Amino acid sequence: MTSFKAPKGTYDLIPPRSADYLAVREALSAPLRRAGYGYTETPGFEQVELFARGVGESTDIVTKEMYTLTTKGGDELALRPEGTASVLRAALEASLHKSGNLPVKLWYSGSYYRYERPQKGRYRHFSQVGAEAIGAEDPSLDAELVILAHDAYRSLGLRDFRILLNSLGDKECRPVYRAALQEFLRRLDLDEDTRRRVEINPLRVLDDKRESVQRQLTDVPMMRDHLCEACKSYHEQVRELLTSAGVSYEDDPRLVRGLDYYTRTTFEFVHDGLGSQSAVGGGGRYDGLSEMIGGPALPSVGWALGVDRTVLALRAEGIELELPAATDVFAVPIGDEARRALFRVVTELRRDGVAADFAYGGKGMKNAMKSADRSGARFALLAGERDLAQGVAQLKDLHSGEQTAVPLDRVVAEVAGKLR
């Protein structure tokens, strides 16, 4: 046993637990691939300024939670705390927005890092699947992304999640609301840090989870009462499209999310079985982010879904995923000649798409069969000197116990037929 451990607030994924995470990533991304989203991958670290501008200098992510480092050349870098800014940066750098085929639809999956107080469902290293539709202002895109996330969760069997929906307005009506909100917040009994936030980004105060703050917000002005006609119409179209697709949602006028770049549509997926860390995913429209990081005006919308919290949600509902067998056939050779013969057969099985494993290390029959049982294999393939003399191997069904002799050159076809 090593004296080293995974850093505080992180975790290792190892079998069999890791199989659930792979299945969740596949389920969350499958609807995106069917909807024309192409895979993209960005570095695990970026320039600090990218997140300071995009995510927002007043957010907890930038002020308290980013892991930063200085390179030998003096560059200030940060481990990525979220995916949107990185993906948009990559799309701009590759000039994807100049292709003439907008929106650019991208999806991604990877690890992200935030220096947070570790607790169940909140880690310093976490995994997400995300999607971004870049370069189009269309309520159909907003609705599409909500529906794709909804359908991904449903495909996993999840039922006890809710969708919260809000509009944060745009550059026309947000300033009016901002002024009204600041006027209200300045009258409250707030600590010095929160008062500074009121002046920088007052909407973030609505997201403050402290009871001492929340009880003072009973009569706080709401964005919905300050939306311009264009934003009202846009939001109503999103709501109508969701309803027509059979997707239920709850209007939440206080939903602001934790990032500064959101405009208009904002949404969150929550699961009440997770306690305080109930958000399993969320996103929204960010029409001004491209300009914030030095690009052209590119209205865009996207989301990120937490793989870790989705797994916790599955457990909260008692859902066991149906996972493909790690091993279909486990080969048990008896003797060196059988070892060489069955190794060839195992290689052929794998090349034919059958999951096959082998009794390595010269194990005796008893220990090798225990390994076969532990592997979860459907069949054991056995051979000794007498079998080889007859040109056969014994194919044993580990579920029924039935065993039949199969010609060595027919094993692959026989196994494939039985698996079908």
Extract the annotated binding site.
82-84, 114, 128, 132, 257, 261-262
Q: How far apart, in Å, are the Cα atoms of 222 and each of 104, 189, 312, 399?
A: 33, 19, 33, 62
Angle between helix 174-185 and helix 192-200 axes, rounded to 10 deg:
160
Q: Are 267 and 303 in contact (CB under 8 A)?
A: yes
How many angstroms separate the CA atoms of 105 and 110, rounded? 17
**Residue 21 to residues 15, 153, 301, 407: CA-CA distances in angstroms?**
10, 14, 26, 39
Q: Distance between CA 36 and CA 30 in Å, rounded?
A: 10
For 130, the 3-state DSSP assignment is strand
As a residue count, the chain comes to: 420
With the CA atoms of 278, 283, 288 and 294 taken in that order, what torsion angle do they form, in degrees rounded to the nearest 10? 90
- Could you give the CA distance from residue 59 to residue 62 in angstroms, rounded to a whole number? 6
Q: Please, is 301 exposed, middle or buried when counting C-beta atoms within 10 Å of its C-beta (0-12, 13-18, 19+)?
A: buried
- Gap between the terminal Cα atoms of the chain: 42
Residue in 289, 306, 256, 288 with CA at minimum distance from that of residue 86 = 289
Long-range contacts of 189-195 (CB under 8 A, 24+ apart): 189/216, 190/216
Token pair 């050349």 in the structure block, residue: 73
Q: Which two three-digit tokens encode residue 134? A: 């870049």
* Cα–Cα distance for residue pair 365/360, rounded to 1 Å: 12
Largest CA distance in the chain: 93
77: how many CB neighbours lie within 10 A of its CB? 19
- Alpha helices (H) in 215-284, listed in sequence order: 229-244
Could you give phi then psi for residue 138, rounded to 5 degrees?
Answer: -155, 120
- Annotated binding residues for L-histidine: 82-84, 114, 128, 132, 257, 261-262
